[in-house]
Structure 1
Amino acid sequence: MKLTRFSLLAVVLVVVSSPIYAVNQESSEFNVRITIKESCNISTADGSELDFGTIDRASKDANANNNLAVTCTQGTPYRVALQSPRLMINTKINNLSIPYMLYQDANQSKPFGYDIQDAYSNTGTGNTQKIPVWGQVKQTDTNVPAGQYSDKVTVAISY
């Protein structure tokens, strides 16, 4: 009997309270939006140097490789140029230099361009993409006085 009274009381409360909520209801709307802009980031992936190592004077070609890391929004076309005079300068005697080349492929058939027009090109995936950089110094260009030679390359990306 107590259970029946409790059940009846619960039903009455639900029936009485239902119209209260329905009578005082209002609504409004709002927009939800996002704007995605194209973006690209670039850095060196495997250290900050392309190191040809140490070789004997005029003994052989010197080859080295490294990777750049590019992250562009999905579907964003981009171009990467490697800007430098392509001359490693002796660190002690400024008028001594060694020319070198930078390539987009291991076969060294496609040079990296100096400017955006002759650059490596691809389309972003939203994930980091590795771009290989292959370098070569010809044997004949290493017939120079012993010492350390270096150059600084600026990596330029346009998108």
Structure 2
Amino acid sequence: MDEFANLAIWENQVGMVASWKQWVSYVSIDYCFLICARHFNLEQGCSRRFAVKKGLCALALTCCLMAGNTSAIAATANGVLTVQATVVAACAVGSGTLVFGTIDPALGTSGPANANVNVTCTQGTPFSIGLSDGSNASGTQRRMKGASQSQFLAYELHRDSAGLQRFGDSVTSQRLTGQTGLGAIANTIAIYASIAAGQSAPADTYSDTVPITVYY
């Protein structure tokens, strides 16, 4: 009687994987793989190199069961995951320092000093920038104050390097307009400054603080 003919007898004794595990101790490795082939018509149900001992025959048969028993996962159910996010317009502005260096108040500055500040806004957000008249202004005249003698030195801030466009805030027309946010990339805003000639001021270090406002 050939091996496959004997399988009818073997298969009557095997109902579940658990019973196979009890039974395999009496069965050769060859029969293990013959049963795999008989049950699932598999040419390569499980590689024999994984069943090097008779004691692993149950593992080989279990592997074959998992490979062949596709009816256990025949049904599926589907759904949809919706993912949402909201981006709102927002802006942030950095700080900067504008340094005139050493000057003669009687002569003023021969050319504009300048500094840059960075403004970061949500991509596509239009914005404008205003500079206040500073902490020591007299009317609309910006002034720096001496550190030790409380004297003042007048100066001005401009939107252009030629010094023709005042950079202010109290008057809307003096703001820097027409800017658009670049997202993660900051907009670099140039600020120009000058000191008018004909002033008298004692030797000292002069400074002022100018708040920056971004409108968006």
Band the TM-score falls in, shorter-chain normalisation? 0.7 to 0.9
SS in structure 2 opposite 1:110? coil
**What's the C-alpha RMSD, in Å, of the aligned pairs?**
2.7
Q: CA deviation at 1:51?
A: 1.0
Identical-pair percentage? 28
Change (3 A) 1:139 1:158: same
TM-score normalised to the size of structure 1?
A: 0.81
> Match for residue 64 of structure 1?
113
> Match for residue 40 of structure 1?
91
Which of 144, 164, 167 is the matching residue for 1:88? Answer: 144
Q: CA deviation at 1:149?
A: 1.5
Q: CA deviation at 1:124?
A: 0.6
> Match for residue 7 of structure 1?
42
Contact 1:116 1:158 survives alignment (8 Å): no
Bigger Rg, structure 1 or 2 = 2
* Structure 1 residues without counterparts, runs of 5 or longer: none
Give runs of aligned pairs for residues 99-114 of structure 1, distance below 5 A.
99-114=154-169
Change (3 A) 1:17 1:109: farther
Between the two structures, name the one with larger relative contact order (CA 8 Å, sep ≥ 6): 1
- d(CA) in 2 for partners of 1:22, 1:116: 74
Contact 1:57 1:146 survives alignment (8 Å): no
Runs of 4+ in 1 over 4 A off after TM superposition: 2-6, 12-16
Instruction: Give the structure with the larger helix fraction.
Output: 2
Q: CA deviation at 1:148?
A: 1.8
Instruction: Report how many residues are paired.
Output: 152
Q: CA deviation at 1:156?
A: 1.1
Q: Does 1:49 align with 2:97?
A: yes
* Structure 2 residues without counterparts, runs of 5 or longer: 1-29, 46-63
- d(CA) in 2 for partners of 1:147, 1:8: 96
> Match for residue 186 of structure 2?
128
SS in structure 1 opposite 2:88? coil
Instruction: Give the structure with the larger strand fraction.
Output: 1
Q: CA deviation at 1:13?
A: 5.4
SS in structure 2 opposite 1:71? strand
Change (3 A) 1:60 1:116: closer
Change (3 A) 1:116 1:56: closer
TM-score normalised to the size of structure 2?
A: 0.61
